[in-house]
Amino acid sequence: MGIAPWRWLFALCLRLLFLVPAGVPVRSGDAGFSKAMDNVTVRQGDSAILRCAVDSRVTRVAWLNRSTILYTGNDKWSIDPRVVLLSNTQSQYSIEIQNVDSYDEGAYTCSVQTDNQPKTSRVHLIVQVPPRITEISSNIAVNEGSNVSLVCMATGKPEPVINWRYLSPKARGFVSEDEYLQIIGITKEQSGQYECSAANDVSAPDVRRVKVTVNYPPYILETLNIGAPLGHQGVLRCDALAVPAAEFKWYKEDKRLSESRRGVKVENSENFSRVTFFNVSEQDYGNYTCVATNGLGQSNASIILFEIFQSTSSPLLQEETTAALTPLKGRAGASCLVFGKTRVGSVLELHLP
């Protein structure tokens, strides 16, 4: 574009004005406009309006971004389409910057000439940026006892405050008040969801979650010995906690329990295994071992299926029987631990092979 020589001169004059080191007394209070303007704070993506108050003595006006001229009078110098002139009147000279981004932040200067005397007024454009998590650890699976470190990085303006929370009904407060979360010697109770939050007061916090899986070897919960009358049903149950889920195997004495035998059903789920004898026979009584295994190890427990003699025809519930026999696990008197016949009340007798 052809630029009139006066514009060059004027531009040069403005440039000199703003490239001059600070401290040069270019400000004066008399024009009214040049007293320190308030900073302009806008959110990223919004429009910023830069206003400059002028009066009738003003002969030339311009807005500059640092040392770059954006507008002089009605002439646009900036090639940025987001910069538009809003008003150029006797009292006000304003421009608008649309769709503001963080790189627009900085000092903008309104420059006016009054009586051949240049005066400037500076305004800081402050761009606020909502918090955004830019980097976060992936979901992980670790073995119990490992050290875990999670990281969460975020951007935003003002600088977001980052913290970590453990999402558990029992957890209180933050587990970390910065971008790093360090867990030394993680326990299985510490597995679950961890949430990183990045917050500033520009908009709602940015929140993301990381799932931490803690692997551990099987742990068999307390088992119960089971009594069942001949020809009745008997159920052995073995509960195990493990991550990854355990695989179960049953042994009777040293032999693997055949799961395909008629009259026997073995059901395995994620955290328990159940053996059902639909029609308990003499050979079924005995000492069973439940073995729970996963990649990290194994654990076993023994469960005894013992015979109950029904001396009356009243159908006894297995639950009652089991309750009566729980002492076999160790709380009981010596008589109950003896493998043989013991009277319990008047209705049943125990017989352990």
- Which residues form the interface with ligand NAG (CB under 6 A)? 36, 38-39, 65-66, 70, 78, 80, 83, 97, 103-104, 124, 146-147, 184, 231, 239, 241, 251, 270-271, 279, 281, 287, 289, 291, 300, 302, 304
Q: What is the closest distance, in whole angstroms, from the C-beta atom of residue 284 to ligand NAG in the complex?
A: 10
Q: What is the closest distance, in whole angstroms, from the C-beta atom of residue 147 to ligand NAG in the complex?
A: 4
Are the C-beta atoms of 236 and 207 separated by less than 8 Å? no
Q: What is the closest distance, in whole angstroms, from the C-beta atom of residue 328 to ligand NAG in the complex?
A: 9
66 vs 265 by CB, closer to ligand NAG: 66
Distance separating alpha carbons of residues 162 and 131, to the nearest angstrom = 10
Distance separating alpha carbons of residues 83 and 77, to the nearest angstrom = 10
CA 335 to mean position of chain CA atoms: 56
Q: What dihedral angle (degrees, nearest 10) is formed by the CA atoms of 154, 160, 166, 172?
A: 170
Q: What is the closest distance, in whole angstroms, from the C-beta atom of residue 167 to ligand NAG in the complex?
A: 18
CA 288 to each of CA 107, 179, 228, 298: distance values in angstroms, whole numbers, following the listed order? 82, 51, 14, 16
DSSP string spanning 176-218? ESSSEEEESS--GGG-EEEEEEEE-SSSSPEEEEEEEEEEEEE
Q: What is the closest distance, in whole angstroms, from the C-beta atom of residue 198 to ligand NAG in the complex?
A: 22
Q: What is the closest distance, in whole angstroms, from the C-beta atom of residue 78 to ligand NAG in the complex?
A: 5
162 vs 238 by CB, closer to ligand NAG: 238
CA 183 to each of CA 115, 144, 175, 208: distance values in angstroms, whole numbers, following the listed order? 70, 11, 9, 18
CA 121 to mean position of chain CA atoms: 47
Closest by alpha carbon to 111, among 28, 41, 38?
28
142 vs 208 by CB, closer to ligand NAG: 142
Q: Can you read off the two tokens belonging to residue 174? A: 């933050």
